[in-house]
Chains A and B, each alone.
Chain A
């Protein structure tokens, strides 16, 4: 009987790449067959553990309904439409308010300008002589205290 399998031969057997001699040997050698079976069993347990471990993750469950990008695109387009409608509504509401505030500011400025003009007119009207004759009036003005001195 040939020598038992080496580590490489066991691995090659498990990798599914045995030579015809190795196939023949494992049929005849209970010890090597047991070693291969032991490794096979361990890898089966490994598989079961990974399957059970991955199944506890939330994303492991298949979605109820598959939604590819086209349907997502529809959702995105719908959302975009709602966003644009909301933006238009916001503009429609805020624009008159802004306009009203501007109008009021403009009215206040006009009122102040009118008031200033009115004051200037009043000043002009209340003068005894026109402003161009005021120097002459100062020359002819009689000041009793000044002449006595």
Chain B
């Protein structure tokens, strides 16, 4: 949230500040997309490196976070393409365990039963998001993890606003289906 507030003020003159503000969210998005800690580290560094060299082409009216996410989305897409050919790399990659996410629920004032149910549901959402097609997953993560609005997602992914809504709708349908939601 703090990053969102500061994002309106920060430009690209002080790149250290850009790194400080946006490193975590870029890394988080890449990690949640690839579920590979090594790849997330490399791609995050690559993202800021590309941003640094392309900072001259950055238009001030655009949001820095949206711009960085645009680079990150492209890197994740390229990583997914290359990954299919990298059998050995996949074997060595320290892929993260999807089951880890449910263990990081913030402590809430609910009963242990409710906490267990919530953990299970979060786990289902996490697994469901993993099985989504790439574009749907990207849109889903940008909307519900990075809390970007439809226009920002459209700018970050290069999709039209309507396309973003369609992908988001389909992603939500798939997730709700996994949750067993029928209403």
Q: How large is the interface on A (under 10, 10 to 19, 20 to 34, 35 or more residues)?
A: 35 or more
Contact status B19-A63, CB under 8 Å: yes
Identify B100's interface contact among A10, A11, A17, A53, CB under 8 A: A53
The answer to whether the Cβ of B13 comes within 8 Å of any Cβ in the partner chain is no
Considering the complex, give the chain B residue whose CB is closest to the CB of A50. Answer: B145
In the bound assembly, the distance between CA atoms of A43 and B142 in angstroms comes to 12
A46 in the interface, Cβ–Cβ < 8 Å? yes
Question: Does B106 lie within 8 Å of A54, measured CB to CB?
Answer: no
Tell me the minimal C-beta distance from B29 to chain A in angstroms: 9
Contacts of B182 in A (CB 8 A): 7
A98 to B169: give the CA distance in the assembly, Å. Answer: 77
> Which B residues are CB-close (under 8 A) to A7?
173, 176, 181-183
B142 CB to closest chain A CB (Å) equals 11
Rounded to whole angstroms, the CA-CA distance of A62 and B28 in the bound complex is 12
Say whether A48 faces chain B, with CB atoms less than 8 Å apart: yes
User: Which of B31, B126, B172 is in CB contact (< 8 Å) with A57?
Assistant: B31
**In-complex Cβ contact of A43 among B24, B49, B144 (8 A):** B144
In the complex, which residues 31-50 of chain B have their Cβ closer than 8 Å to any Cβ of chain A?
A: 31-32, 37, 40-41, 44, 48-49
User: Are A49 and B19 in touch, CB under 8 angstroms?
Assistant: no
Q: A59 near B: Cβ within 8 Å? A: yes
Contact, CB under 8 Å: A50 / B150: no
- The answer to whether residues A45 and B122 also contact, given A7-B173, A16-B150, A57-B31 and a CB cut-off of 8 A, is yes
* 15 A–B contacts, CB within 8 A, in A order: A4-B183, A7-B176, A7-B183, A10-B176, A10-B181, A12-B169, A39-B176, A43-B125, A46-B145, A50-B104, A55-B28, A59-B40, A61-B23, A65-B16, A66-B48
Given A10-B183, A42-B121, A50-B126: 11 more A-B contacts, CB < 8 Å: A7-B176, A12-B169, A14-B172, A15-B172, A47-B144, A49-B104, A49-B105, A50-B145, A62-B19, A66-B15, A68-B49
